[in-house]
């Protein structure tokens, strides 16, 4: 226990007066901006992960083939062409999801430099 109190005294918690909160009140908006950047980055990472996972596992929860209006050109396509187009779209969505995740992580890391 003596080591713990020695460490606390070394850190300097005894020099801070926690009852005088007004003297330590910040007048800078920079920490708030850093927090908001972190929060926005976290949301962007979640959206990117959802986009990537939806494309990877092809989740279509609210998708019903009967609701899709098929054009005449799509009626003339073979099933292989439709599958190729669908796979190309899924690959684009995977790539977009990875990019969005990277942007979100960069925003989260950048928020620590602002703080």
d(CA 87, CA 96): 14
Q: How confident is the model at residue 97 (pLDDT cuts 50, 70, 90)?
A: very high
Name the most confidently modeled range: 15-19, 20-24, 85-89: 85-89
pLDDT at 36 exceeding the cut of 90: yes
Q: What is the pLDDT of residue 78?
A: 82
Q: Residue 90: left if φ>0, alpha if ψ -120 to 50, beta else—which one?
A: alpha
Question: Please, how many CA atoms are within 13 Å of residue 3, restricted to the half-sphere of its CB?
Answer: 0
Mean pLDDT of 19-41: 80
Q: What is the pLDDT of residue 67?
A: 62
* Predicted structure pTM score: 0.65
Mean pLDDT of 102-111: 95
SS (H, E, C) the chain: CHHHHHHHHHHCHHHCCCCCHHHHCCCCCHHHHHHHHHHHHHHHHHHHHHHHHHHHHCCCCCCCHHHCCCCHHHHHCCHHHHHHHHHHHHHHHHHHHHHHHHHHHHHHHHHHHHC
């Amino acid at each position: 226990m003596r080591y713990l109190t020695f460490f606390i005294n070394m850190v300097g918690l005894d020099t801070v007066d926690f009852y005088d909160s007004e003297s330590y009140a910040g007048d800078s908006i920079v920490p708030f901006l850093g927090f908001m950047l972190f929060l926005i980055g976290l949301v962007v990472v979640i959206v990117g992960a959802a986009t990537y996972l939806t494309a990877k596992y092809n989740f279509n929860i609210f998708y019903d083939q009967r609701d899709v209006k098929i054009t005449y050109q799509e009626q003339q396509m073979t099933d292989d062409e439709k599958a190729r187009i669908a796979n190309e779209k899924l690959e684009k969505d995977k790539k977009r999801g990875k990019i969005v995740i990277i942007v979100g992580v960069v925003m989260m890391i950048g928020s620590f430099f602002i703080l």
